[in-house]
Amino acid sequence: MFKRILSCSVCGGDIKDGEEIYAKMEAPSKKVMVEIKAYLKDKSEIICKDCYDK
Ligand SMILES: [Zn+2]
């Protein structure tokens, strides 16, 4: 199973299994949608619930 360690881009804390997260990203173009996984990895910021609620 593919497992990637995620961390919050605000506080840098690790995201726990099952934790609610928020992703901030630029709206992808149609061309980019084809490579959405690579796009997400490159362009998205993961934000944990604690930081998002602040
Ligand atoms: Zn955080």
pLDDT score recorded for residue 33: 66
Instruction: Tell me how far the alpha carbon of residue 7 lies from the centroid of ligand 1, in angstroms.
Output: 8
Instruction: Tell me how far the alpha carbon of residue 31 lies from the centroid of ligand 1, in angstroms.
Output: 31
- Give dist(CA 33, CA 25) in Å, integer: 13
Q: How far is CA 30 from CA 5, 12, 34, 46, 51, in A?
A: 28, 31, 7, 22, 30
Instruction: Tell me how far the alpha carbon of residue 34 lies from the centroid of ligand 1, in angstroms.
Output: 29
Q: State pTM to two decimals.
A: 0.61
Instruction: Tell me how far the alpha carbon of residue 19 lies from the centroid of ligand 1, in angstroms.
Output: 11
Local confidence pLDDT in tens for the 54 residues of the chain: 445 677 899 999 998 888 888 888 887 777 766 677 777 777 888 899 999 998
The answer to whether 21 touches 50, Cβ cutoff 8 Å, is no
Instruction: Tell me how far the alpha carbon of residue 33 lies from the centroid of ligand 1, in angstroms.
Output: 27
Sequence spans of domains, the chain:
1-54
